[in-house]
Amino acid sequence: MPSIRQIRQRIRSVESTSKITNAMEMIAASKMRRAQQSVLASRPYATALLDILSDLAQRSLSGEVQDVNPLLEVREANTIGVIVVTPDRGLAGGLSSNMNRAAEEFISTQTAPVKVVTVGRKGSDFMTRSQQDIVATFTQISEYPALDDARPVAKIVQDEYIAGTMDRVHIIYPEFVNTVVQTPTIRQLLPIEPSDDSSTDSSPGIDFAYEPDPGTVLSGLLPRLVEMWVFHAFLELSASEHSARMVAMNAATKAAHEMIGDLTLVYNKARQEIITTELLDIVSGVAALEQS
Amino acid sequence: MSPTNLQVISAEKVLYEDDVDIVVCPGIEGELGVLPQHAPIFTLLQTGEIRVKKGEQEDSIFVTGGFLQITQEKVVVLADAGEQAQDIDEERASRAKERAEERLNQQEQDTDIPRAENALHRSVTRLRVAERNK
């Protein structure tokens, strides 16, 4: 059994750990709120862009858009690109390992060689360790993602795609379902598949005049669409990371308090034992004196 | 005439939303004035200034390219980036201008000239818009 001093030290160290985890939980909570707000703030842009795309897609299907844009061209997949979006920092429960496991599983099921673009240190460390073909690495994203962070990532895969060094590009990111659930999600970025789902079209039947012409507008629109999807993945990552950390730190704080309770019990027992022994000593000493 | 509802949206946030009388946009093929009941149109925008008139009040929003969508009931600008004229950070814009000029002046092998030119154009326009709306 540890000495009373050791127990006291232990209690103190657990207490200070719980203060740290508690602070981290509160920080994560406030960052999560901000991240959720930016997800909401980005929604009107996304909706408007997708509306236009579905309108343009219908035209291109009906043959009004003559030249097919290189970003729409479907090729046989000889090389596959994957953007893996992961957190920079740990202490976020199982988020990083879940993401890496999902990415690894996806890569291992591909029949063609896979090139990887990593976003976030956790993913880049993992992909380096598992010796994947890494094209580019981006870090320092998940705190407060900005659109300017998404642009270079989107540009790399578009360049590779147009150059023909990637024939299909996917993005893997943690989708924020709610505070406790984040699911790894895979989406095909390139070639862009125009959804002919007319239910998303909020302005049906409007015959837009496209200026200068539908083809030019389409080629301006598609790169923005890729950027937007990458940006969206970053925002989902940010919300997921902060909420996962919040939940993990909450559990850690609770565990620390429980541990402090258990330790205090042991400490009190030990203290009482000492007092009892001392008392016994005194009483037996007095009894011995009285006898003599 | 009933006013038009104008929304200026970037991927990060909604920059401007109001019912307005006139909107003047920097279209790819020149300035584009929009009055209520304009025909539906969809066009690319270039870097420039969106001027808005609402009664006696005039507003100005700087955008760095994007799209303009006009429907019967509203005008939507999907901007790549931008801010309201009074929110322009002039110091930052002039620093960006100096950087771009420097890059263009010393043109090394790997200088991305179109990118530097774009950056220069953006910062100059930003400064001009800020200046005019003082």
Amino acid at B54: K
Does residue B96 register a pLDDT over 90? Answer: no
Residues of A in contact with B80 (CB under 8 A): 147, 224
| pLDDT at residue A28, rounded to an integer | 92
Range among A10-14, A68-72, B119-123 rated most confident: A10-14
| pLDDT at residue A41, rounded to an integer | 84
Give the integer Cα–Cα distance in Å for A144 and A167: 31
| pLDDT at residue A8, rounded to an integer | 92
Q: Do A210 and B12 touch (CB under 8 A)?
A: no
Provide the pLDDT confidence category of residue A201 given band limits of 50, 70 and 90.
very low
Window from A10-14, A117-121, A192-196, A210-214 with minimum mean pLDDT:
A192-196
Provide the pLDDT confidence category of residue A194 given band limits of 50, 70 and 90.
low
Are residue A197 and residue A241 in the same domain, yes or no? yes
Closest CB to A209: pick one of B12, B13, B40: B40
Residue bearing the bigger pLDDT, B19 or A209: B19
Stretch B56-66: mean pLDDT, rounded? 86
Are residue A18 and residue A127 in the same domain, yes or no? no
* Window B:77-116, CB contacts with A under 8 Å: 78, 80-81
Window from A48-57, A133-142, A196-205, B14-23 with minimum mean pLDDT:
A196-205
Rounded to a whole number, what is the distance in Å from the CA of A72 to chain B's nearest CA? 20
Is the Cβ of B30 closer than 8 Å to some Cβ of chain A?
no
pLDDT tens profile A232-256: 889 989 999 999 999 999 999 999 9
Are residue A198 and residue A277 in the same domain, yes or no? no
| pLDDT at residue A65, rounded to an integer | 57
Which of B46, B67, B74, B118 would best serve as a mutation to test chain A binding (most A beta carbons within 10 A)?
Answer: B67
CATH number of the domain enclosing A97: 3.40.1380.10
Does residue A213 register a pLDDT over 90? Answer: no
Rounded to a whole number, what is the distance in Å from the CA of B8 to chain A's nearest CA? 9
Stretch B45-58: mean pLDDT, rounded? 87
| Token pair 């060094």: residue | A165
Is the Cβ of A234 closer than 8 Å to some Cβ of chain B?
no
Residue bearing the bigger pLDDT, A202 or A136: A136
Q: Do B78 and A231 touch (CB under 8 A)?
A: no
Give the integer Cα–Cα distance in Å for A57 and A77: 23
Residues of A in contact with B43 (CB under 8 A): 210-212, 217
Are residue A61 and residue A175 in the same domain, yes or no? yes
Give the integer Cα–Cα distance in Å for B50 and B54: 13
Give the integer Cα–Cα distance in Å for A214 and B133: 35
Q: Which domain, by its residues, includes A270?
A: 4-26+248-291
pLDDT tens profile A59-105: 665 555 556 677 777 788 888 999 999 998 888 888 888 999 999 99
Are residue A94 and residue A139 in the same domain, yes or no? yes
Is the Cβ of A210 closer than 8 Å to some Cβ of chain B?
yes
Are residue A75 and residue A206 in the same domain, yes or no? yes
Are residue A155 and residue A194 in the same domain, yes or no? yes
Q: Do A208 and B41 touch (CB under 8 A)?
A: yes
* Window A:89-118, CB contacts with B under 8 Å: none
CATH number of the domain enclosing A273: 1.10.287.80
Are residue A163 and residue A241 in the same domain, yes or no? yes
Are residue A159 and residue A230 in the same domain, yes or no? yes
**Strands of the sheet with A182-190, listed across from one edge:** A133-138, A114-119, A80-85, A168-176, A182-190
In the structure encoding, which two tokens stand for residue A12, read together? 């103190």
Are residue A149 and residue A281 in the same domain, yes or no? no
Q: Do B69 and A48 touch (CB under 8 A)?
A: yes
Are residue A208 and residue A149 in the same domain, yes or no? yes
pLDDT tens profile A34-56: 888 888 888 888 888 887 777 77
Give the integer Cα–Cα distance in Å for A101 and A86: 11
What SS3 string covers A24-88? Answer: HHHHHHHHHHHHHHHHHHHHHHHHHHHHHHHHHHHHHHCCCCCCCCCCCCCCCCCCEEEEEECCC
**Is B46:B30 a contact under the CB 8 Å cutoff?**
no
Q: Do B42 and A52 touch (CB under 8 A)?
A: yes
In 3D space, the residue among A65, A31, A6 whose CA is nearest the CA of residue A176 turns out to be: A31
- Say how many CB pairs under 8 Å bridge A and B: 71
In 3D space, the residue among B35, B34, B66 whose CA is nearest the CA of residue B48 turns out to be: B66
| pLDDT at residue A206, rounded to an integer | 64
Give the integer Cα–Cα distance in Å for B88 and A211: 29
Is the Cβ of A1 closer than 8 Å to some Cβ of chain B?
no
Stretch B9-27: mean pLDDT, rounded? 87
Provide the pLDDT confidence category of residue B102 given band limits of 50, 70 and 90.
confident
Q: Which of A214, A229, A247 is at the close of a domain?
A: A247
Stretch A144-161: mean pLDDT, rounded? 87
Are residue A151 and residue A239 in the same domain, yes or no? yes
| pLDDT at residue A255, rounded to an integer | 95
Q: Domain tally for chain A?
A: 2
Residues of B in contact with A202 (CB under 8 A): none
Domains and CATH numbers, chain B: 4-85 (2.60.15.10), 88-132 (1.20.5.440)
Closest-CA residue of B relative to A148 is B81
Is the Cβ of A146 closer than 8 Å to some Cβ of chain B?
yes
Rounded to a whole number, what is the distance in Å from the CA of A228 to chain B's nearest CA? 7
Stretch B21-49: mean pLDDT, rounded? 86
Give the integer Cα–Cα distance in Å for A36 and A39: 5
pTM of structure: 0.82
How big is chain B, counted in residues? 134
Q: Is the peptide bond before A212 cis (omega within 30 degrees of 0)?
A: yes
